[in-house]
Structure 1
Amino acid sequence: MEIMMAEDSNKKTVIAAVVIFIAVLAMFLGVYVALLDEGEPTAEDIAAEQVEAETELERLQNSFSLAMDNRRPAPELIDEIKVYAEAHPESVYAELLYAQSQLYVRNYQVAYDAFERALVLDPNQYQTEMLTGTIAYDHLKNFDGAVKHFELAAALNDKDPQPWLYIAQIKAKQDKPEEAFESLTKAIEIDRNLPQAHASLAELYQQRGMFDAAGREYELALEQSKSSKQQRQHAVYLFKYAKMLAGEGKPEEALPLLADMPLTARTQPEVLVEIGEVWDALGEPSQAAKYFSQVLRADPANEKAAELTVKYYIIAGDKVAAAEAMNDLRMLNPGSEKLQGFADEIAGM
């Protein structure tokens, strides 16, 4: 009887244990299912998160745009944009906004890196390629990186010569004239009305000693830069062309080009020196002295100009003007080694 009661008790214990085990198992299963439900958001949850993220991005974009209009993006806004971009590495627009904000604070390397990430996310961005290349070229002096982005830009838009013009500039700085020449040729194939490209080609021809070809390119550059908007560049082309002709021993062709330069350009010391040298080459020392004296007026500390003024007034036989110019030189540098020599020459006039 006791044995039977013990067996019944054991059976009840086992049954109770099984019931408890089932209950505990059910509890754990319920928790696990609940955890699964929490770990796997529904489509509605995902959509809501996307809307929230897009709304926040739009707010940041609008805030940054407004701040840029007022030229006062707050550091707090820059930090917010950074946090958002780090939280959404898959968003091309977040990377672009982050890059723009870093560009504003002149953090060029960080901006460049962010633009590159945006281009990985969406490679079909012509303006972003151009901007990234420009940052690499102008601010980071990363010429290889700049060429890479300008070449990608050229592949995206074969109707714009600007990428090839930038590449030509870089290749010229890298002392790669053949590659620069090729890039300029590609730019001109796209648009023949590019005075900058023609002037750059002229310089490359000049380096090769092909002066006739260089002259033709300078003529095209001058013809295409006559508008008032390009007056400054037109003056630069006139000066470079004149300097080339003078160097070739053609001062009579160089002088009219220098005379065509606007007054503001003609009074620059570098231009006045060139005009003086042209007059010297034409056998007119008094005119040369006149322009060297103008250099001295434009740049009163220019000792070399003072020396040239004295020299050419002596050559011209103008004793009074030579003596006055020598006084200017003495005031600039009382210890000049040339003073005694000039004094002797003037005394013998």
Structure 2
Amino acid sequence: MSKRGWLLLLAVGVIWGVPYLLIKIAVGQVSPVTVVFVRTALGALLLLPFALRGGGLRVLRGHWPAVLGFAALEIVGPWILLSNAEQTLTSSTTGLLVATVPIAAVVLGRIVGDRRPVAAVRWVGLLVGLGGVALLLGPGAAADDPWAVTQVLLAALGYATAPIIADRGLRDVPAIPLTATCLGITALVYLPFLVAGGRQPWPETDAVLALVALGAVCTALAFVLFFRLIVEVGAARSTLVAYLNPVVAVTLGALVLDEPLTWTIAGATALILLGSAAASRRGGDESDPSRPGAEPATATEPATIDDITVARTATDDEAPVPHAP
């Protein structure tokens, strides 16, 4: 991998590990609805020039049912659930629970009719990852709010389901126009709830900066960098950023918010990462040679949603998929 590829990989991995911290700061002063609206509206606005350059809404013609379903499961639902959950959960615990997405994907694949053989290592990974979740939820652990934990796991389920819609209805759709549209749809969904909530006190500087960073850096910039990463190193290799996200979330929670970094959390981190990596591993009998796999895209070829789907499902021995929390 080139030096540019490594730099992009590190940048995206770190940037997508930061939102848990920023959400925690923001929800201390503004409502979860405000967090989601500001983030998505700002992100959509900043991505608009790139989206227009990529064909705008024209490229989504004939795909609107899939676009709406993808937006609901990838952004509309998960981002409000995560913001609600972080009113009580620590940012590090939230980041770790979201890292269970590949584990949910194994189970979901069986439910939706994927009958390809599942390698034993993936079932072992599922059990190991669930052991990490159990460690987080056990006596004396950090996750002591069952409803908050449920919300994060529901968000993870949405993240695991959205690629199925993308794979079946959005292949070859340019990724940036789709992302900008989904962000705009989410902002419109939550605008009436924001208005109905009435006027809120202006938050302090740290919350304002957190909201701006969520929209500008962790959403707009992160998606642009992620798509460039795919072009640079290929869809499958881009999934390596998922190893960084939970580690960054746990580290920042401890350093910035003084969240406890206990042996329980360290053990849960190891189990969830190892379990997710194993659960997302595909053996030779499961691979699909017709898919792009680990082949990098050409420099002139824009990333499509099919590239993102490949990244989300991972191939052969690549890492679990990243998500924009």
**Smaller-chain TM-score bracket:** under 0.3
TM-score, with length taken from structure 1: 0.16
Query: Which has more helix, going by share of residues?
Result: 1
Q: If the length of structure 2 is used for normalisation, what is the TM-score?
A: 0.17
